[in-house]
Amino acid sequence: MNTYQLLDSGNRQKLEQVGPYKIIRPAPQAIWEPFNPSLWNDIDSEFVKEKGEKGSWKPRKNPEGVKRKKLGTGLPENWFVDSPSGLQFKVEPNDYGNIGIFPEHWIYSNELNNLLPKKSKVLNVFTYTGSNCLDLVKSGHLVTVVDSAKTAISGYTFNLGLNKLSRQGQRLVLEDAIKFLDREIRRESKYDCVMIDAPSYGRGTKKEVFDIDESLIKLFQNAKRLAKKDGIVIFTLHSPRYTQAALKQSLEQIFEGKNINIQELMLEAESKSYLTSGTFVQIQ
């Protein structure tokens, strides 16, 4: 078993099967009771927040027989999973509870791929390790990725290699997102697709502060400027503050006359329940 599956959620946690490992992570949006309590056993590791967003992985069962490099977490340092489209991704749990993949992007990636004309020029800002764009690279699109973390760009490069995807025509940019977007606008660059998966908070390469509350409208405006007339703009947001109605009203003002499709990114669990994992916006 080398795939990802959300198993269940509840008590503000989510239970996930990530390849051979069963893990628990915080999920503040899961305000209900678990839907299938019988699934919550035989767990390898649980991520527990300790200081702000930082925390540690606690082994939940005797990890005997599990090859572990990171002693004490109940998990190996890294391993691999296959996405639904058959791409391989490296899984690498970190001290913030991230694991190297964001499976909610796999909900829409196939549909987006089919919408884009061949060899589309795609800009993907806040790329991390590329859960939301490796499918596009595989289909031959020319993808520019932007992230301020060396670990993100090296993880992305690793995933390209893992899937034998050529770097030809791809651009990997290690830079502050806001600065890069401003420069691209000055250069009058245009893209068939602009994808922005904004975190709530982040840091640029020179420690510039990124705060979604300050930058969201500017991101919308810059995405509009960088997209071709008939281009597609995709935003994925993870801040619960921005309700669908608020986003719609603001986006209708900025992208006047365009089709704006706003949906929740819902991961279906094995327990047949759903867990919302952010908001998906498609503008065309």
Ligand X SMILES: C[S@@+](CC[C@H](N)C(=O)[O-])C[C@H]1O[C@@H](n2cnc3c(N)ncnc32)[C@H](O)[C@@H]1O
| Residue 131 found at the interface with ligand X (CB under 6 A) | yes
Question: Quick one: 58 or 179, whose CB is closer to ligand X?
Answer: 179
Q: Is 259 exposed, middle or buried (0-12, 13-18, 19+ CB in 10 A)?
A: exposed
Segment contacting ligand X by CB under 6 A, of 40-48, 200-208, 250-258, 260-268? 200-208
Cβ of residue 53: shortest distance to ligand X, in angstroms?
A: 12
Site membership for ligand X, residue 148 (CB under 6 A) = yes
Exactly one of 4, 21, 210, 235 binds ligand X (CB under 6 A); that residue is 210
Minimum CB separation of residue 105 from ligand X in Å reads 5
Q: Is 102 in the site for ligand X (CB under 6 A)?
A: yes
Q: Residue 177, interface with ligand X (CB under 6 A)?
A: yes
Our finding on whether 159 is near ligand X (CB under 6 A) is no
CB-closest chain residue to ligand X: 202
**Residue 126 binds to ligand X (criterion: CB under 6 A):** yes
Among 176, 231, 235, 281, binds ligand X (CB under 6 A): 176
Among 21, 128, 220, 235, binds ligand X (CB under 6 A): 128
Q: Which of 147, 181, 194, 265 binds ligand X (CB under 6 A)?
A: 147
Binding site for ligand X (CB under 6 A): 102, 105, 126-129, 131-132, 146-149, 152, 176-177, 197, 199, 202-204, 208, 210
